[in-house]
Structure 1
Amino acid sequence: MDSTLQWITENQEVLIGYAIKFVVALLILIAGRIIANTVARVMGNGMRKREMDNAVVSFMAAIVKSVIFIAAILMALSHVGVQTTSFIAILGAAGLAIGLALQGSLSNIASGVLLIMFRPMRAGEYVEAGGVAGTVESITIFQTILKTPDNKVVFVPNAQITNDSITNYSREELRRIDLVVGVSYSADLRKTKEVLEEVLKADPRILEEPAMNIQVNELGASSVDFIVRPWVKVGDYWPTRWDLNREIKMALDKNEIAIPFPQMDIHFYKD
């Protein structure tokens, strides 16, 4: 006991120095934790104001919080005299090994970050991406969740989406309906155009601006093909398209304008 007290007395200055360093290191950790939580919270609030997906917000906030806290740990260890160079080397080697092992997953994460930054699609929008068409449910860390019109949920890897083209059908307020109507070569083309115009004008969902376009587009093998291109609001696209197909057929029948079937002439030769 006496020897212990004597050792403490002799090394009192050294012990006080280590105690101060330990307290300062502890304060660094506490400050790092507070700073990490504050930065993650501020960043999360900013991302939510941009209407980003909550899963993505949580993921990015967790990454920022982890990076800041790891930096605080390294600073605290360095302050108490621990050589952090070896720790950094070990972390670098471990990061390289993990990166090589998880190339696909990291590619999906990076693609998810790109989707967040450039926002080519948002939750609730109808898109065609990665070979799948559907409404965006959410963008997660590794994959984007789409719900198809027949209520199937499809999980598409983020890398597959960013490596392909993305068609967003909901971003603009207006959308054009493209129909092709084929009539017989014996049909009166002027009357046919008038009938098509009457059908379109009778539908209140068809917009006056941009103006509709009805033209003879092609002289086909069996029919004269009209293009019918009215503009509607995005939400009215499919109901209007389906109704127009029905109303155009009924109007052509009423005016005795035939829609021909594909025809083929067969010639027989007798030897």
Structure 2
Amino acid sequence: MDKINEYAQIAIDKAVFYIPRIFLAGLILWIGFKIAKKIVELVKKALEKTGFSETLRPFLSSIVGVLLKGTVLFVIATVLGADLTGLFAILAAAAFAVGMALQGSLGNFASGILILTLKPFKVADWIQVDDKFGRVVEIGIFSTDVLTPGNKILIIPNSMITESVVTNYSEKGMIRLELEVTMPYEESFPKVKQVLEQALKEVSKILPEPSPEIGILDFDSHSVQLIVRPFVLPDDFWEVTFNANKAIKKAFSSHDIKVAYSEGVEIGKIGE
């Protein structure tokens, strides 16, 4: 009977100690999760008003929700009298190990956050990263998908984008083509320029304003290097490039403008 009474007293003491704490923990859990849900909704609305990316908004909202709920659970564990020192040590060690294993992925993740926040480009923009050129079709947390003119999808790690020079061809609404043409030294530049101007007028989708730029770029041993710079919309980049080169070749042929070949050396006249 003494043992029974002893155990009964221990049970009563435990009940007196834990029942109020359990009740309080349940109350904190219910109220805490309600408050966390409200805060997450407010964060979503705030991010939407500030113009954050649609890709980034759900992610940030979920992160806020996880942090708030984790805080509520930590408070509950403290109320119940749990010793969290060992748990924190285990979590810290696990976080360090995961961080080391995913070092590259974490770099891409951080770069993705920067891209989605700072918005150096957006979906449907034409960009160039190093020698990678194409239209942005998706901006993700870890990588950016770019569709090339050859209809190939390039999956570019975000860390590569933030560490490189990015050229955004769509930022100004128009881009300038860089077409190189040669003419012989004996030919008249004013004549060739007029022929080029007329040829460009026959190419559709070249913007009339700003007007195309035509000038002498350089001199080599056999010919004069010309540069032709018409302005086009980003979506028309390749179509106009091919059509402009075709029109220039046809115009040179019809006006009997010759080109120099690199075989041998010949001394000739210099035109106007």
Q: Residue 60 and residue 184 in structure 1: after superposition, are their counterparts in 2 closer, same or farther (change >3 A)? A: same
1:180 paired with 2:185, answer: no
| Conserved? CA contact 1:170–1:234, under 8 Å | yes
Structure 2 residue 90 is the aligned partner of structure 1 residue 52: no
Quick one: distance in 2 between partners of 1:36 and 1:10? 35
CA distance in 2, matches of 1:17, 1:35: 27
The letter for the 1-side match of 2:238 is: W
Partner of 2:252: 252
- CA shift at 1:179, angstroms? 1.2
Aligned counterparts of 1:111 and 1:145: Cα–Cα separation in 2: 14
User: What is the rounded CA distance, in whole Å, between the counterparts of 1:233 and 1:245 in structure 2?
Assistant: 17
Secondary structure of the residue aligned to 1:225 is strand
SS in 1 for 2:113: helix
Identify the residue that residue 99 of structure 2 maps to in structure 1.
99
Q: Is the 8 A contact 2:123 2:136 kept in 1?
A: yes
Alignment of 1:53-72 (within 5 A): 53-54=54-55, 56-72=56-72
The question of whether the paired residues in 2 share the 8 Å contact of 1:105 and 1:142 is answered with: yes
Match runs of 1:231-242 below 5 Å: 231-242=231-242
Gap regions ≥5 residues in structure 2: 267-272
What's the offset of the Cα at 1:128?
A: 2.2
After superposition, the C-alpha distances for 1:128-163 in whole angstroms (9 at most, x for unaligned) are: 236533322223232222222222223222222222
Alignment of 1:149-160 (within 5 A): 149-160=149-160
Residue type at the aligned position of 1:114: L
Q: How does 1:5-20 map to 2 (within 5 A)?
A: 7=9, 11=13, 15=15, 18-20=18-20
| Alpha-carbon separation, structure 1, partners of 2:139 and 2:208 | 37
Segments ≥4 residues shifted beyond 6 Å: none
Instruction: State the TM-score, normalizing by the size of structure 1.
Output: 0.82
Please state how far the C-alpha of 1:192 moved relative to its aligned partner.
0.9
Say whether 1:199 aligns with 2:188.
no
Residue 256 of structure 1, CA deviation: 0.9
Q: TM-score, normalised by structure 2?
A: 0.82
Structure 1: 5+ residue stretches without partners = 267-271
Q: What fraction of aligned residue pairs are identical, expressed as a percent?
A: 32
Query: What is the distance in 2 between the residues matched to 1:155 and 1:58?
Result: 22
Measured at CA, do residues 44 and 124 of structure 1 come closer, stay the same or move farther in structure 2, by a change above 3 Å? Answer: farther
Q: Deviations 1:214-266 (Å, cap 9, x if unpaired)? A: 11222222112221112222233322222111111111111111122223239
For 2:122, the equivalent position in structure 1 comes to 122
CA contact (8 A) 1:53 1:138 kept: no
Does the residue aligned with 1:121 lie in a helix, a strand or coil?
A: coil
Q: Is the 8 A contact 1:174 1:231 kept in 2?
A: yes
Distance 2:131 2:180 in 1: 25
Q: How far does residue 72 in structure 1 lie from its aligned partner after superposition? A: 1.0
Task: Answer yes or no: is the 8 Å Cα contact 2:99–2:106 preserved in 1.
Answer: yes
Contact 1:129 1:164 in 2 (8 A): yes
Indicate the residue corresponding to 1:211 in structure 2. 211
SS of residue in 1 equivalent to 2:226:
strand
Corresponding residue number in structure 2 for 1:167: 167
What's the RMSD between the two structures over aligned residues?
3.0
What CA distance in whole angstroms lies between the structure 2 residues aligned with 1:27 and 1:130?
A: 57
CA contact (8 A) 1:183 1:223 kept: yes
1:174/1:233 contact within 8 Å kept? yes
* 1:175 Cα deviation after fit: 0.8
Q: Following TM superposition, by how much is the alpha carbon of 1:108 offset from its aligned partner in structure 2, in angstroms? A: 1.7
Partner in structure 2 of residue 138 of structure 1: 138
CA distance in 1: counterparts of 2:264 and 2:146, whole angstroms: 44
> CA distance change for structure 1 residues 233 and 148 in 2, over 3 Å: closer, same or farther?
closer
Partner of 2:261: 261
After superposition, the Cα gap between the structure-2 partners of 1:186 and 1:239, relative to the gap in structure 1 and judged at 3 Å, is same
Amino acid at match of 1:256: D
Question: CA 1:118–1:103 in 2, change beyond 3 Å: closer, same or farther?
Answer: same
